[in-house]
Each structure stands twice: as structure tokens, then as C-alpha cells.
């Protein structure tokens, strides 16, 4: 029993049974107690160590349950055979250095991904959050409906009907934590063998996502109305991903005629769908918002996806899918297995945010803020009219500048950066082998004040109005 001479420390925070367990485990893993060796009975070891028998029982039981020791009925406790390395990996976690955030490093950053958060309705958010948590019950912490809270789905159905012309019932709506998740879910519902057609340039993240999920992605050509249906037909795709209300990044509004043609295309074959990404339809500065393509769909061919990340705040991880009837069976079979990705508290919060009118007020406010910036940027671009044309205006939160003086995209971006102004090339939004004829940069204005726009424009004058050196 000498290898079980354990230096027990009664003042230690670790209970005695644990000290015994740790000692024996160490002996076993380091070979001090070889395979097959019989351990002393609990009574004997308890006497030897001057501890209660329960203490030794507990230590042995732990060793047995972890598989270091085997209990043979009527025979006693024996060391198990262990192969390979079996000591716990107890080195300290490696040095931790928080990775640095990527940053344009520019004083004026026209990132198209920005959202203005100075207008975030933090007080309303606090109030609603507090209200929900004060409702003294724990119902909200029980597992909710995988499809999303009924209340929120009803609120979204109402909103879609009023604001987007879409008549969908709450039973067709699926709530999820962001578009990326919902696109992943959609891939589960659609199953294998689907071919996506996308425009080029397009929302690159969606492309990368479909590509990462191992879908075949084809490029359909575009004209000034958006995706060309003849080209779409040629791709052989059964799914067309479009942003009819405001194409990203070109800002094209798809005219009704093209919408009808797309719907005709989808109706032409079983299993064809249009995936309508309505990502920033809320922001339109002239006229009424343009109704969603899903609003024209009478044959259940449009899958609609919308989000609150763009209209409220990026960290609000709430998006929604509207599924046509024909996909509901697949949802019931495959989708319902996947638990909701949004907490019930957040779902109720968003639902009340919409229901109580906060969302409408917030959208009106943001529309005004973004419109002023949109107008200021258009105004500030006037001195450039000799060298570039502006497109994609009147909606969304970015503009395109198309250089007409031979300035290349790279050159424009580089020169702006030298003046500490961040503008972004259009090339990055192209997929596949599509032509990249235009020399175009994108300026997002969601996060730049009017004052800053004026300042940045002065710098861009210096950057871009110098003659382009001949190569």
C-alpha cells in the first residue's frame, strides 16, 4: 500500500475524496499502478489514510466511472488497461491577444456596409426590453416555436402586407438569426441538386454562402432592368436570386415587365423558384417604396427574405423568410427540426417595436437622415460631372460613380485613399467570368455626416481632378 501513501491536506479547498482520486489517477496514468493491479479494499485504504470509508468509496466510484479502475464483483477494484496518452491536457490556455478589427484607416470612410447607429432608438429598446423581462414569468425562457414566435410572425405579416404589398400568412413566415442562417436553412429545405443563378455584380456574401454550401452557382447576364430572363433560361438554373427593389450593388429597380417575365420563367417548370432578397427596400427617397416581387406572385414561386439588420441595427440578428405554400411541406419535414436561432425575448422585443409604432418612426427618421446625406453627396459630386456619372441614386444607402475619363477603379480607390477617403471598387462584387467593362466605385453614405461629405468631396477633388498619367 506504500504507493498509496497520500499526503492529504485537510486545509485544501479540494475535498479529501478528490485528493485521493487525483493521487490514484496520477499513479495510474504515470505507470506507478500498473494494469491489472488490485487496489486495497475501501475499508483498508480508509483505515490506512485515517479517513472515513465513504470518502474512499467516493474516490473509487469516480475512478470507476471515468474508467481508470474496474470494480469486479466479490473480487475488488483493479486498475484498467490504458493505451496511449491519457493524462488530461492541463497546460494553461495559450496567450490571448484580441485580434485587431479590420479598419479602412481612412478619415472619411464611405463603406457600403455602414449603418448609422447614432439614431438607434436605444431608449425605446431599453424600455421594451425592461418591460418584457419584468413580465414576471419564465415562459420566455422555455423553448419556443422553431419557426418563430407566433406574435412576431403575425406582426411581420401585417408589415409585409402594408409596406411591401405581400400577402403572406404567419404560417408561411420563418424567423431566423440573420440572412446567412436563413439561406443555410433554405438550402436544407431545397435539398441537393439545385442550381442557383445570380447576377454579376451581386451581393457577394450570398454567392460565397451558396458556393460554400456546395451549390452550383451560375451567372445570368444583366441589362438595365436587372437579370435577363433569356440568359437565366440558358443557365439551366432552377433558382434565381434577385434584389428587384434595389439591386446590390448597382441600385437597379427591376421594372414590372421584367418581374412578370421572371414570374413566367418560374412558372415554366416544377421546382423553379425566385429568391427575392428585399434587403434595403425601406430606404427610398423619391416616391413610394416599390412593392416586392412577392406581391405579384400568384403561383407560389417567390421565396422572400427580409431583415431588420439593415433597417434597425446590424447586431439585431433577426431576419425572416416567407415561404411559398409549395415549400411548407419541406419545412415541416426538414426545417422544423432546427430549433429557432433567435431568443424569445428578442422576438417579442422586435414584435412590440413594430406593433407599437417605434419601427415606423425609426424608419421615417432614418429615411430623413439618409436622404439628407444622399442629397449632400449628390450635390458634392456635381463638380465631378466632367469625369464621371452617378448611378444608383434615390434609394438605399450607397451611390455608384462611373468614371468616364479613363480613370481605372484601382487608381480611383488608391488616389482617394491617399487623401484618407475610403471608396470601394465595384469589381469585388462580380462573380465568375462576367465582363467588367465599367470603371466604377461605390460610396456608401450611411455612416458619413453631411459635414464630412463636404470635407471628403474637397479631398476627392484633389485626388481625382489631377490628370490621369498616360501609361
* Distance between first and last Cα of the chain: 88
According to DSSP, the β-strands at 216-219 and 195-198 are: parallel
Contact set for a second copy, span 322-381 (CB under 8 A): 334, 337-346
Judged by CB under 8 A, the stretch of 289-297, 360-368, 373-381, 437-445 that binds a second copy is: 289-297
Of the candidate residues 43, 54, 141, 379, the single one contacting a second copy (CB under 8 A): 141
Site membership for a second copy, residue 80 (CB under 8 A)? yes
Kindly identify the residues of this chain, within the stretch 227-266, that bind a second copy according to CB under 8 A: 253-261, 263-264
Q: Which helix (H) or strand (E) holds 468?
A: none
Cell numbers describing residue 402: 462611373
Do residues 335 and 146 make contact, with C-beta atoms less than 8 angstroms apart? yes
208 binds a second copy (CB under 8 A): yes
17 is a site residue for a second copy (CB under 8 A): yes
Binding mask 111-130 for a second copy (x = CB under 8 A): --x-x-xx-x-x--xx--xx
DSSP 8-state class, residue 284: B
**Which of 32, 40, 76, 291 forms a contact with a second copy (CB under 8 A)?**
291
Q: Is 180 in the site for a second copy (CB under 8 A)?
A: yes
Of 2-10, 103-111, 141-149, 357-365, the window that binds a second copy (rule: CB under 8 A) is: 141-149
Establish if 65 lies at the interface with a second copy (CB under 8 A): yes
Please identify which residue in 2, 91, 433, 451 interacts with a second copy, judged by CB under 8 A. 91
**In sequence order, which residues have a C-beta less than 8 Å from that of residue 241 and are 6 or more positions away?**
196, 197, 198, 199, 202, 206, 210, 275, 277
Per the listing, cell 454567392 goes with: 207
Nearest residue to 61 via CA among 90, 18, 99: 18
Residues 34, 212, 236, 432: which binds a second copy (CB under 8 A)?
Answer: 212
String of DSSP letters for 318-362: -EEEE--HHHHHHHHHTGGGSPPSS-HHHHHHHHHHHHTTHHHHH
Residue 286 Cβ, how far from a second copy at the closest point, in Å? Answer: 6
What is the smallest separation between the CB atom of 407 and a second copy, expressed in angstroms?
27
Residue of 8, 181, 408, 461 interacting with a second copy (CB under 8 A): 181
Beta pairing class for 421-422 and 424-425: unpaired
178 binds a second copy (CB under 8 A): yes
Amino acid at each position: 500500500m506504500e504507493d498509496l501513501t497520500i499526503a492529504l491536506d485537510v486545509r485544501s479547498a479540494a475535498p479529501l475524496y478528490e485528493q485521493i482520486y487525483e493521487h490514484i489517477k496520477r499513479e495510474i496514468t504515470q505507470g506507478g499502478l500498473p494494469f491489472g493491479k488490485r487496489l486495497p479494499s475501501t475499508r483498508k485504504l480508509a483505515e490506512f489514510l485515517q479517513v472515513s470509508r465513504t470518502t474512499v468509496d467516493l474516490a473509487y466510484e469516480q475512478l470507476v466511472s471515468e474508467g481508470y479502475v474496474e470494480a469486479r464483483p466479490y473480487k475488488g477494484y483493479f486498475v484498467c488497461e490504458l493505451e496511449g496518452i491519457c493524462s488530461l491536457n492541463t497546460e494553461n490556455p495559450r496567450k490571448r491577444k484580441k485580434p485587431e478589427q479590420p479598419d479602412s484607416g481612412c478619415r472619411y470612410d464611405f463603406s457600403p456596409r455602414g449603418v448609422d447607429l447614432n439614431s438607434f432608438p436605444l431608449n425605446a429598446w431599453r424600455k421594451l426590453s425592461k418591460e418584457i423581462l419584468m413580465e414576471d414569468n419564465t415562459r420566455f425562457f422555455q423553448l419556443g416555436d422553431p419557426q418563430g414566435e407566433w406574435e412576431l410572425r403575425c406582426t411581420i405579416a401585417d408589415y409585409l402586407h402594408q409596406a411591401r404589398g405581400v400577402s403572406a400568412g404567419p404560417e408561411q413566415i420563418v424567423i431566423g438569426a440573420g440572412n446567412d442562417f436563413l439561406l443555410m436553412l433554405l438550402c436544407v429545405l431545397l435539398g441537393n441538386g439545385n442550381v442557383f443563378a445570380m447576377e454579376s455584380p451581386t451581393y457577394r456574401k450570398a454567392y460565397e454562402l451558396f458556393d460554400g454550401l456546395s451549390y452550383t452557382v451560375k451567372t445570368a447576364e444583366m441589362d438595365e432592368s436587372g437579370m435577363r430572363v433569356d440568359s437565366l433560361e440558358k443557365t439551366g438554373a432552377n433558382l434565381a436570386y434577385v434584389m428587384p427593389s434595389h439591386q446590390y450593388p448597382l441600385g437597379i429597380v427591376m421594372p414590372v415587365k421584367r418581374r412578370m417575365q421572371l414570374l413566367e420563367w418560374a412558372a415554366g417548370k416544377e421546382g423553379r423558384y425566385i429568391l427575392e432578397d428585399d434587403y434595403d427596400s425601406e430606404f427610398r427617397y423619391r416616391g413610394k417604396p416599390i412593392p416586392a416581387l412577392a406581391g405579384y406572385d400568384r403561383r407560389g414561386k417567390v421565396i422572400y427574405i427580409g431583415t431588420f439588420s439593415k433597417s434597425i441595427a446590424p447586431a439585431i440578428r433577426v431576419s425572416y423568410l416567407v415561404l411559398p405554400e409549395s415549400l411548407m411541406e419541406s419545412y415541416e419535414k426538414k426545417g422544423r427540426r432546427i430549433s429557432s436561432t433567435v431568443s424569445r425575448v428578442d422576438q417579442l422585443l422586435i414584435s412590440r417595436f413594430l406593433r407599437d409604432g417605434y419601427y415606423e418612426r425609426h424608419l421615417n427618421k432614418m429615411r430623413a437622415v439618409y436622404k439628407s446625406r444622399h442629397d449632400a453627396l449628390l450635390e458634392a459630386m456635381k463638380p465631378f460631372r466632367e469625369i464621371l456619372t452617378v448611378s444608383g441614386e434615390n434609394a438605399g444607402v450607397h451611390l455608384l460613380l462611373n468614371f468616364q475619363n479613363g480613370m481605372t477603379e484601382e487608381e480611383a480607390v488608391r488616389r482617394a485613399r491617399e487623401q484618407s477617403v475610403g471608396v470601394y471598387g465595384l469589381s469585388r462584387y462580380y462573380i465568375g467570368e462576367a465582363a467588367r467593362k465599367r470603371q466604377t466605385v461605390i460610396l456608401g453614405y450611411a455612416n458619413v455626416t453631411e459635414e464630412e461629405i463636404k470635407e471628403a468631396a474637397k479631398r476627392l477633388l484633389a485626388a481625382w481632378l489631377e490628370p490621369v498619367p498616360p501609361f
